[in-house]
Homo-oligomer: A and B are copies of this chain.
């Protein structure tokens, strides 16, 4: 293995000089710099990243914790993070969890082990209580959710307000019996949506009108079936993802359910598929969420950033 010492010897300088050249430090005479550079080339030398990381105490990489990699929502977040990371010379290390607690803890463990300089938690399953032990260090952890605590970094979509506006919109259109398709019932973001859903005045809510486990197109299909089997049906549905809404709409077409006459619904994300299928949807700035999360990690931002949603009216309400 050819290391910095070999380069130094061959070039007839000290390792520090080589190191200075490597790191673009000033105070290196031009001729020495040149000979070092030449020797490096001649020896086909490359720094050992792990040694650099160890010595410097940082790795220029950030961990991203997310449940799934094949959902557009997370794809967009990743894209946003990556855009900013690229600018700042950082790389992404992925911790895909499938919402398994231990896989998630792996990421926090990696943080403690200094494998990453910080963490962006796009979504989590462990409670803050369980994670507390890992939060002590000075390495930033950015949560993509509305955290009360002001000592935690949090950047999030205002899901409460979004849900609230969704319900008001449906009410304006005359709907009262409102159901919900949601990813899961746990997790701060879902809880915020649920809270808004339950607290909103003037709507009729029933537990059997709440459909959980909704992530994919297939889930939308399934939900339409379940909706049809209901003795008493909600007139309208709030769907927390375009994918699911698309499945719902498509299945409605097959089953002869007229949208929005028999069933109206609006969804969230405003991904291209919603425009494509004419689904009324709230734009969720997930790409920006990723960008902001990374900026916050770099401490360029504030302790807390809230992003708002925008309604795009189309044909499903």
Contact A217 B273 (CB under 8 A): yes
Residue A59 interfacial (CB < 8 Å): yes
Residue A112 interfacial (CB < 8 Å): yes
Once the chains are docked, how many angstroms separate the CA of A91 from the CA of B218? 29
Chain B residues with Cβ under 8 A from A50's Cβ? 50, 53-54, 59, 114-115
Q: Mark A100-121, 1 if CB is under 8 A from B, else 0.
A: 0001000001101111000000
Residue A26 interfacial (CB < 8 Å): no
Known: A46-B109, A243-B272. 8 other contacts (CB 8 A): A50-B115, A51-B54, A70-B72, A70-B78, A72-B72, A72-B75, A75-B75, A217-B272
A: which residues have CB within 8 A of B? Answer: 46-51, 53-54, 59, 61, 68-72, 74-76, 78-79, 82, 86, 91-96, 103, 109-110, 112-115, 216-218, 243, 246-247, 250, 272-273, 275-277, 287
Listed by A's residue number, 27 A-B pairs whose Cβ atoms lie within 8 Å are A46-B113, A48-B114, A49-B113, A49-B115, A50-B54, A51-B54, A54-B54, A61-B93, A68-B79, A70-B78, A70-B287, A71-B75, A74-B75, A75-B75, A82-B94, A82-B96, A91-B93, A92-B93, A94-B94, A216-B272, A217-B272, A217-B273, A217-B275, A217-B276, A218-B272, A247-B276, A273-B273
Once the chains are docked, how many angstroms separate the CA of A109 from the CA of B103? 29
Contact B103 A95 (CB under 8 A): no
Copies in the assembly, this chain: 2
Once the chains are docked, how many angstroms separate the CA of A127 from the CA of B92? 25
Q: Which of B79, B216, B218 contacts A70 (CB 8 A)?
A: B79
Once the chains are docked, how many angstroms separate the CA of A72 from the CA of B243? 12
Once the chains are docked, how many angstroms separate the CA of A11 from the CA of B71? 48
Contact B69 A78 (CB under 8 A): yes
Chain B residues with Cβ under 8 A from A86's Cβ? 96, 103
Q: A271 — nearest CB in chain B belongs to which residue?
A: B217
Q: Which of B76, B92, B246, B287 contacts A273 (CB 8 A)?
A: B246
Contact A54 B59 (CB under 8 A): no
Q: A76 — nearest CB in chain B belongs to which residue?
A: B70
Chain B residues with Cβ under 8 A from A71's Cβ? 75
Chain B residues with Cβ under 8 A from A94's Cβ? 78, 82, 91-94
